[in-house]
Each structure stands twice: as structure tokens, then as C-alpha cells.
Structure 1
Amino acid sequence: MGTGRETAAEVIVVGAGPAGLACALDLTAAGRDVLVLEAGDEVGGRMRTDVVQGFRLDRGFQVFNTAYPQVRRRVDLKALRLHPFTPGFLLAGGRGRFPVVDPTRRPGLALELLRPGGAVPLRDVPALGLLGLRDAVLPAGVLKRAPDVSTARALRAAGVSRRTVEGVLGPFLAGVFLEEGLETSSRLFHLVWRSMLRGSLCLPQEGIGAVPRQLARGLAAGRVVCGARVERVGRQEVLLADGSVLRAGGAVVVATGMAQAARLLPGLPVPAGRAVTTFYHVAPVSPLREPTLVVDADRRVLNTVVLSEVVPRCSPDGRALVSTSVLGLDADEGAARLRAGELYGVDTSRWRTLTDYRIADALPAGPAPLPLSRSARWAPGQYVCGDHRATASVQGALASGARAAREVLADLAERAPGPARAPVPVPAPERRPGPGRDAR
């Protein structure tokens, strides 16, 4: 690919996930020459979509939140042709099936929260209402500065009973943060809860991989090179698996997943990874005729959803595509399929297994106290970004990439010869038109 005798670019970004693409876009907007190297055959990192036997499968169950500030600044939401999930979720298990909804969006089902014997005790309804109102209305900056404790402790402090925390919110949030004990930072929880209340949870018509593909189209042709595996990172150069060396005139930014980042930058502290397995099954008939996330109250699986009810085009022939996710990497397909059938109340003997994704570092752990943003500077000429440097979300990845770009620009300006130069500002990405509160 190169001999190392010439400078490949002013800045080399290693990794074409959301963080790397955001960093490259901001650096390019500031007039810097950027080359992005991606080990995979397509951009996206963990945000990838495969086509298997005509079915469109995301690499692990994912949702797209329209309320994240970085998403609304950078992404043309209309072009993604978003399909929303039902607001809320269906809690299913040994006690029955209970819709848990946002009453501001589904007033017709709001009474379900108030009926005796429902999922949420009546005494918890006011506490949950105040919690939601606070998170939806307060500025994000206020939530970021609040005392940081575990999510479980924060919910109890808000007046929510142990029954609701462990039996309703706990099973749902286990699928959001990929954990069992709700030890995730309360600051992160409140920010995520805020985004859920203010935005819509959707999927792009072409799968989650459409998001990074759209971002990559903002870079000039030839500035993203796929199939380029980086073996080593130096101060201002990278060594590729094919033995070639590419030099950077100013900086190298490592924007890979956290395990790869720790390999390329020895000594880099990274959080523990949260593991998840997602099974994809094909059913001759849809087990639930609505685009609703079904949460397992008994926690034998995390959740299950009929994806073809959310995005009909993800199935090529009208059969139902069902996604079921389980914590960890050693999940059993047969047990997951049977449990999904119990949650839907159907026989799964005619379901066919399409494939599974076992993802070791699906999310970085975020226990309290959690710094919501970390500097990208690692060593002279070396920088690092990704959701493991911010928060476990697309918002965190994009924001971390933006911070890396700011710090690279500031350092390049400081090192420039001649009179002292002010840091080059990063232009704010053009705001794209998007859906309102509900993408419907």
C-alpha cells in the first residue's frame, strides 16, 4: 500500500466506526488532509449490517436514537427512511404480559399503568412521572453535573420501589446497558433516559449500517481505505499487516474498538467489555403483529423483537425475522428460541435458525463514578477516541471523535512554525432536517 518514504496524509485515523468518521469529518472541515484506515471490508465498526440469505441483519440487535445531539447535527435522518419501534416495551414473563408505555405518546394505553395488578404498582406512577419529567426538561448539562451513583441507587432515591426497579426497569435496562445489577453510572442513565423521552427509537430501512455509510460519504473519494489492518502505531506512522508503513505529517488517531485500541496503544486503560449474543430466527408467521420490543421479566433472555414488523424490507419474502438477545457469549440457541416462544406465546418448532452474533465487547462498562468524556491525547502525535472514551452510545462515540478532532487541531496549530496561531475552530456540521418527537 505504501513504502513509508512519503507522507500519506497530515492525519491518519485508524478505524472507520462512528468515532473515527466524526473525527475525520471535523478535521477535513477544518482544511486538514485526512486518511482513514479500516480493517474491515466496509465502514461502521460495530454498526454493520449483513445480508444473509436475503435477510438484512445488523451485527447484534441495535436501535437508533434520533434525539442524540451529535446524531441530529451530523445525520440526514430523512435519508435513512427510519422505521420506529412502538414507544415503550412489552414486559412478559411468569406474571403475564404488560405493556409499559410512555403515556404522552400512547395515551390509549396509559391506563394500563394504573390498573391494579399491572406491571407498575400505583404508588410508583408519580415517582416515575417526576423522574421522566425531570430528565426530559432539565438541560443535559445539569444532568451531567449531578452526583454520580449507580442507576439502582438513583432509582431508589427517586422513590421507585424495589419491585419496579428489579421487576420492570431492571430487565429493560439490562438490554440497554448489557448488565444485570444496574451498576451503570446514574449520570449516563439519566442522559440515555432523557434521549429516549425526547426522541424516537428507530431502525434505518437499510439497517444500522446505513448510518456510518452516510457519514463516510461526507469524505472525499479515496480518503477511506477498507481492508487496511494496522499492526502497529508509531508517533506519526502506522505499520500495516502487509508490511507497508504509512507516515502522518501531523498525527495518528486510533479510533478502533477498545480491545484493538489497547493493543495498538500499550498501556491504554480501557473499561471492561459487556458481552451479548444475538440470535436471528426466521418464522413462517409473525409471532407478534407490531413493532414492539418484548422484555423478559424473568431475565432468561434480554429481549426479543420481530424485526420484520419494524422494517418489513429486512425480510425478502414476507416471512418473519425475529431477533433474540442474551447476555454473555455462551448462550444456547435452542434455549433462547424456546424462551422467545414462551414470551410470544407461540410454538417455535418451525422456526429456522439463520445465524448468531457473539460480541465480546458490544459495549464498554460504565459503572459510577464515570467520567463522561476523556481527553484524546495519549502520547506526542498519538490520539485515541471511541465510546470507551466517553459514554456507551452512538452519541458518546461521535462526541469522542469530535473531541479528538478539536485536540488534534489545537496541537497542530501550536506546533505550526511562525507566529503563534490561534487554534483552528472546527465548523459545526450542517444541521440536517429530521423528524420531530416521533418519527412516525
Structure 2
Amino acid sequence: MTEVVVAGGGPAGLVAARRLAEAGADVRLYERHHDPGGRVRSLRRDGYVFDRGFQVLFTAYPAARRELDYDALDLRYFKPGAVVAREGERATLADPFRDLDAALETLLNREVTVRDKLRVLELRRELADKPDREIFAGPDESTREYLREREFSDRFVENFAAPFFGGITLDRSLGTSKRAFEFAFKMLTVGRIAVPARGMAAVTEQLAESAREAGVEIVVDETVTDLDPHAADPEIELGRDETTADAVVVATDPKEARDLTGVESIPTDAKGCVTQYYAFDGPELDAGARLLLNAEDDAPNHVAQLSAVAPEYAPEGRNLLSATFLGVPDESDEALAAKTAGALAAWYPERRLDLDRLHTSRVEFAQFAQPPGVHDRLPDPRAPEGPVYLAGEYTDASSLNAAMLSGQTAAKRVAEDFDLEE
């Protein structure tokens, strides 16, 4: 039987491990933390759910639809669109095709022009049926350049695109590849944004359970520290032991993957974020299950009323907010909380919100940077020497979909090379 070691228990590693086990391989997965999950984790405490950074599931992700049981995840949905907020003003910009109740308010929204709204509809039609392979092929440019070429107004770019799509790519300057923008826009057009009722960790918990059911041995609190692909069977050094295998799938974070494999094309330039969680009493904010976008600055970039989306994220009778800052600011937790309180006070002068800061999640490496052209330079899963393969979003794009897709691709390559029935 072909023996395969998978290093790393995030979505990519879990998907690769399960698929290889189902193909007949003997698979052991090593995860350095106490449980699998990678960057997709949640802290459940005192009746609250705190995801590791602001994370959501785009239900239209092709790889997610193949790998996940959405019904079992018990998804809770954001409302389409967002509320653009500035001092003393809040304006809803929604999808009139999927939210008829907000159609009139969206039509009257003055944060973007009528021509912008027509161009959004044109872009919806163009991208809804555009194959993903076409999105990630051809010439590239920044998202900002792309929007300007399509003659979106400065108001649309600065008031909506910068905080909304900048929040997705963690780049409010919109210097990210237009391919990432087009893919995210397509996913928003044909699907919805959701979180599982138990938090985003439910995604990787389900993937781990599926892997175990397929026969994968998941070893936690153990790290692959080195490997030699030139031995007859790759030699693998662990934190406390050594082992061998016929093949190794490296599904660690990008920096560790580069160190283990020597593949220099693995991108390691990071985009980070800080997300704080607050509770407050009284009625929920009128934004409800829509994102609140900061149209004036990035402190914070956006606010989400998570308990309005998923009541399970907070104890009964309490409201849970998250506020996300792009990058990893040096300010203290208290200073960031003061900025959030100041922003909300400006947006809601009619409300007095007494925020109770509950948790801060600082994520230095939430995504790898995606400047124009980056996708053309990403490594192939077979890039390492010997029977060593890469499984990580850094082989495709920076998204949860890409992580799961990379696990599928890595398993397929191993199966091809070892005549498994993947």
C-alpha cells in the first residue's frame, strides 16, 4: 500500500488526505496544533463564537461545494450588499435582484452614481458565466486600474469598492490583481456569504471528520520539521521522531512550506488583519445582517453585526459585533477599541453604545499578497524535488476555495504518479 504523509491540517491538507485515503493510500496527517484547522479556527467561550479574524464562506466556491455538506454546516447568511457609513450618514447599497426590500433605498443611494449602478449590473452579466480559468488567464492589472478603465466613478471606488473588496483582499488601496476582484465578484453574483452557526471552525471540523472516516490517521501536537526527498523513501523529521513514506504532501503555511521544500516561488509576502469582538445590549443596529463599510478611513475598515447574521454567535439577549482593521496595527487593544467606539458613535449619533470588548484576534498572515501577475508565478504542486507535493492556496490563489482546490489537485497528482484510483 502506498504510504503518504501530509504535513499540515488546514483545509488543503485535510482535503488532500481524505482524497488520497479514499484512493487507497495509507495516509498520516501531522498537525502542529492541538486540533486541525490551519487558519480556519474559532474560539468558543462563554456562549460567544470568535472566529480567527473576519472569515466567511462564499457559498458559490466550486471547491467548497464539492468538499462540504452545507446542510450539516447549518449556514447563516449575510444580506447582500452593505451599508456605507460616514459621520452622521448611513446608506444601503444592496443587490436589488436578491433583496427587493432594499431596492428603493439602493436606487436612491447617493454614495455611488446611477451610472455606477448600471455598470455593476453589466459586470454581473459579464462575470456570472465567465469560467474561472478565463478569470485567472490573460493580461492582469490592479483592481483600481480595472475599475477606472470600466469608468466606475471615484465615489464608487472610494466609498464602496475600497472598503468592501479591500476587506476581502485585505488591501484597501485596491492594488490587488483584478483577477482576485473578478473571482470574488462572480462568487457574490452567483452565491451568498455565510458563516456556519458554530463558527468558521465548523468547516475544518467537518473536513477533519470526513478525513478520519476515510481512514486518515490525524496526529496532532506534532510538526514536520524537515524532510529529505532524495532518500529511497522520503525521510521525514518530526518534532519528537522520524518516519518515512512513499510520498509527502506539504500543506503547511507558505513560509514553512518554502523552508521544507526549497521552492522559492512559494509567495510569502503577507497580508494581515486585526479583528476585535464586542458585545452590547439593547436593540441591534439597523444595518442588521449587512456589513457596515467605513467610507472615511480604515479604522476600522468594516464592522459586522455577527449576532444579526448568526444568533448562535452570542448568548441570548446580547449583540456581538466584529470590527476589522487591515494590516496589523501597532496600537494596543484598548486603542483599537476606542477607534471602533468613535466610528460607531459618528455613524450612529442617535444611539449610545456601551461596547464590551471581549476578544482580539491578530492575524499576521491571513493571506498572501496578490499583486497583478502573481498568479502566473505560483508554483506547481509537483514543484519540489522527489515525491514531494505542494497543497496550499499558494498554488492557485489566496482564498478558502483555492486552499481546498489545491488539496484536490495535490491528491490527483499523487494518485497519477503512484497509480492510485483517485
Q: Same fold by TM-score, threshold 0.5 exceeded?
A: yes
Residue number in structure 1 paired with 2:281: 284
Equivalent pairs counted in the alignment come to 405
1:344 Cα deviation from its structure 2 partner: 4.3
2:244 counterpart of 1:219: no
For each residue in 1:135-190, what CA deviation from the matched residue of structure 2 results, as whole angstroms up to 9, or x when unmatched?
11333333233422111111112221222112221111111000122111112211
In structure 2, the residue matched to 1:275 is 272
Task: Output one character per residue of 1:335-376: Cα deviation in whole Å (capped at 9) or x when no partner.
Answer: 23332443344334x321111011011011111113266411
Match for residue 367 of structure 2 among 359, 363, 373: 363
Rate the CA distance shift 1:266–1:218 in 2: closer, same or farther, 3 A: same
Equivalent position amino acid for 1:316 in 2: P
TM-superposed CA distance for 1:247, in Å, is: 1.3
Residues 300 and 340 of structure 2 are in contact (CA less than 8 Å); yes or no, is this contact kept in structure 1?
yes
Structure 1 range deviating more: 265-274 or 130-139: 265-274
Q: 1:339 to 1:94 in 2, by over 3 A?
A: closer
Structure 1 pair 337–425 and aligned structure 2 pair: CA distance change class (3 A): farther
Q: Residue 359 of structure 2 aligns to a residue in which SS?
A: strand
Confirm or deny: 8 A CA contact 2:27 2:216 kept in the other structure: no
Q: Describe how 1:13-32 pairs up with structure 2 within 5 A.
A: 13-32=6-25
- Percentage identity across paired residues of the two chains: 32
- Do 1:113 and 1:120's aligned partners in 2 also have CA atoms closer than 8 Å? no
Aligned residues of 1:144 and 1:187 also touching (Cα < 8 A): yes
Q: CA deviation at 1:119?
A: 1.4
Contact 2:84 2:292 (C-alpha < 8 Å) held by counterparts: yes
Contact 2:21–2:216 under 8 Å retained in 1: no
Q: Which residue of 1 aligns with 2:44?
A: 51
- Give the 3-state SS of the residue equivalent to 2:151 in structure 1: coil
Q: Which stretch of structure 1 is more off in the superposition, 386-395 or 198-207?
A: 386-395
Distance in 1, matches of 2:79 and 2:106, equals 16
> What's the counterpart of residue 400 of structure 2?
394
Q: Which moved more, 1:265-274 or 1:45-54?
A: 265-274
Q: Secondary structure at the match of 1:231?
A: strand
Counterpart for residue 293 of structure 1:
291
| Alpha-carbon contact 2:15-2:211 (below 8 Å) kept | no
Q: 1:141-290 counterparts in 2 under 5 A?
A: 141-220=133-212, 223-235=217-229, 236-242=234-240, 244-248=241-245, 250-269=246-265, 270-289=267-286, 290=288
CA distance in 2 between counterparts of 1:315 and 1:169 reads 30
Find the aligned partners of 1:14 and 1:313 in 2 and give their Cα distance. Answer: 33
Which residue of 2 is the match for residue 434 of structure 1? Answer: none
Q: Deviations over 1:198-231 (max 9, x none)?
A: 1110110111011111111122366111111222
Q: Which runs of 5+ in 2 are unaligned?
A: none
Write the distance in 1 (CA, Å) between the matches of 2:201 and 2:226: 27
Aligned partner of 2:381 in structure 1 is 376
SS in 2 for 1:217: helix
Q: Which amino acid aligns with 1:347?
A: R
Root mean square deviation, CA, Å: 2.0
Q: Is the 8 A contact 2:13 2:407 kept in 1?
A: yes
The answer for unaligned runs of 5 or more in structure 1 is: 1-6, 414-423, 427-440
Q: Which residue of 1 aligns with 2:355?
A: 351
Where 1:219 maps in the other structure, the secondary structure is: helix
Q: Tell me, in whole angstroms, the C-alpha distance in 2 between the residues paired with 1:381 and 1:253.
A: 9
Q: Distance in 2 between matches of 1:384 and 1:137?
A: 30
Cα pair 2:272 2:367 within 8 Å, conserved: yes
Structure 1, residues 105-148: CA drift from partner, whole Å, max 9, x if none?
Answer: 01332233332x61111122222211121111333333233422
Cα deviations by residue, 1:380-410 (Å, 9 ceiling, x for unpaired): 1222221122111111101111111122222
Cα offset, 1:287, TM superposition: 4.1
Is the 8 Å Cα contact of residues 16 and 45 (structure 1) preserved in structure 2?
yes
Q: In the aligned structure 2, how far is the partner of 1:364 from the partner of 1:381?
A: 26
Deviates more, 1:197-206 or 1:377-386: 377-386
Equivalent AA in structure 2 for residue 361 of structure 1: F
Cα distance between partner residues in 2 of 1:95 and 1:403:
50
The residue type equivalent to 2:294 in the other structure is: D
